[in-house]
Copies of this chain bind each other. A is one copy, B any other.
Amino acid sequence: MKVDVVRNILEANDAVAAELNARLTAKGILTLNLMSSPGSGKTTLLERTLTDLKHEFCMAVIEGDCQTENDARRVAATGAQAIQINTDGGCHLDGAMVREACAKLKLDEVDILVIENVGNLVCPAEFSVGEDYKVTILSVTEGDDKPEKYPFIFAQSQVMILNKIDLLPYVNFSVERASSFACAVNPAIQIFPLSATTGQGMDAWYAWLRTERDKKRL
């Protein structure tokens, strides 16, 4: 009974997400679902990306959080369109929430839409939200074993960003081990070690965004 209900919820969500992705694709928008644990640096990565690429792309952001509008405010300060979704304790975004938020955005001018999910390395992996790609951040302070211990989200992701590499000298973290664990669950995953705080390594991430946005261009 419980399993059936969960399966029905997931299938209904997949249908909503697929329809939303088709609409966004028809507008030529590259859509990313940005996921990580709380505090891995999703919003800081976005702030820097939005600022550095603001003359190149029109970007919009949908912010998911249990509570507060802090992240939408931080993102809006860069000049980008930003909408906050508060899940009021909910552990992930779903397609219907994102569809509702999209209705409030001026999508005709948008090149790249980033959906920042609730901070959670488990539940968001199961719920598509209309994205082309899932991008998961792991920060080096969390330990290099996380792709092995939380394999589902890395298996679903096209990109793993290894954030906070400026802190590598102070923590016990091997980029090689983390990459090897991630590749074991997902051999095709692309990995970008970077620091959203210092800017180190951001160029490779920007190059990936440009390539993927070009593929969506109408």
Contacts and interface: CB of A to CB of B under 8 A. Distances in A.
Contact of A66 (B40, B65, B118, B150): B150
A38 B37 contact: yes
Nearest to A66: B150
Q: Which of A2, A70, A119, A125 has the most CB of B within 10 A?
A: A119
A119 B36 CA distance: 12
Copies in the assembly, this chain: 2
Interface residues of A, number: 40
A18 interface: no
A66 B146 contact: no
26 contacts: A2-B5, A37-B38, A37-B121, A38-B121, A38-B143, A38-B146, A38-B150, A39-B139, A39-B141, A39-B142, A40-B142, A65-B149, A68-B145, A70-B148, A89-B152, A90-B122, A91-B91, A118-B122, A119-B121, A119-B122, A120-B121, A122-B123, A166-B170, A167-B167, A167-B170, A170-B170
